[in-house]
Amino acid sequence: MTAVASAESTTESLPLGVPRMWRLSAGSVALDRDEMLRYLGHQGQAIDPALATRIDAAAADAVAAAAPAGAWSVFPISVAPANPTAANRIVLEGTALELTGRDIYRHLKDARYAAVLTCTLGMRAEQRLRVLSSQSPLEGAVFDAACSALVESTADALNHEIERAAAAAGLSCNWRFSPGYGDLPLDVQPTVLAALNATRLCGISTTPTNLLMPTKSITAFIGLFEGTPHAADTVRSCTGCRVAAGCAFRTRGIRCWQPARPAHAPKGLA
């Protein structure tokens, strides 16, 4: 068997270069109430029973409104070498994606492939959020926190599917890295969505300022490695985050990447 044929046979479980639609049935993603409360700034203080009832109602409302969906694909990685006037960059073959920045370079440089993913709660949840926010700031804030927790759970579920597919191909994964983290700019968002045909497959688009719409949507990159991922790229930390100095999570002694629920990704020290 040739080297090319061998490589192709190991990636049969992966959507190599072809976006794969992904969807969950309504209500199938569990909402972590502790995670939701964390988004609300809760620090363990007692919650009035009347407020607890409203929080639970908003949580149930968010679960009912969410329609978790997404898309993902896998692309070979080329590392474009540095020259005196340009930094190293990661090129995903078969796409227009050229990822610049020290942090994403470190994250993907030793990987053979990059899994590119996007997921969303859908426009129904977005529309419900807008209605509640206009009617009651409190209800809107609680619903927003519930949706934030839900979309992270949705991303975790898709992340797990990618890990299973990678394992079937004999590959291992590092953690997901999203635009806006570290020095990876948000302006890659439109190209990410184009590579995944995400607007057609799951209704995700970008605003003129490169924010995702629906707002409860996520894009990310995961490195797929032959063997164990490079140690430096398996550990999350706050070191590369642009908002670390004023982070509300850090002031409470927690980290945004250390959820209350068991995490699929390794945990590091900030």
132 to 139, 143, 266: CA distances (angstroms): 6, 8, 36
Contact 192, 118 (CB under 8 A): yes
Interior angle at CA 140, CA 138 and CA 145, nearest 5:
100
Query: What confidence score (pLDDT) does residue 238 get?
Result: 64
pLDDT at position 264 is 36
d(CA 188, CA 177): 13
Residue pair 117/219 in contact (Cβ under 8 Å)? The answer is yes
Residue 91, exposed/middle/buried by CB under 10 A (0-12, 13-18, 19+)?
middle
The SS3 assignment for 140 reads helix
- Specify the pLDDT at position 201: 97
Q: How confident is the model at residue 235, as a pLDDT?
A: 54
pLDDT for residue 83: 53
Q: According to the model, what pLDDT value does residue 260 have?
A: 43
- pTM: predicted TM-score of the whole model, two decimal places: 0.83
- Predicted local confidence at residue 8, as pLDDT: 47
CB 189 within 8 A of CB 99: no
pLDDT at 2: 38
74: helix, strand or coil: strand
pLDDT of residue 40: 92
Residue 214, preceding bond cis, omega within 30 degrees? yes
**Whose CA is closest to 195, among 167, 216, 221?**
221
Distance CA 87, CA 242 (A): 19
Low-confidence residues of the chain: pLDDT under 70: 1-11, 81-87, 230-270
User: So what's the pLDDT on residue 42?
Assistant: 87
Residue 30's pLDDT is 86
pLDDT of residue 148: 96
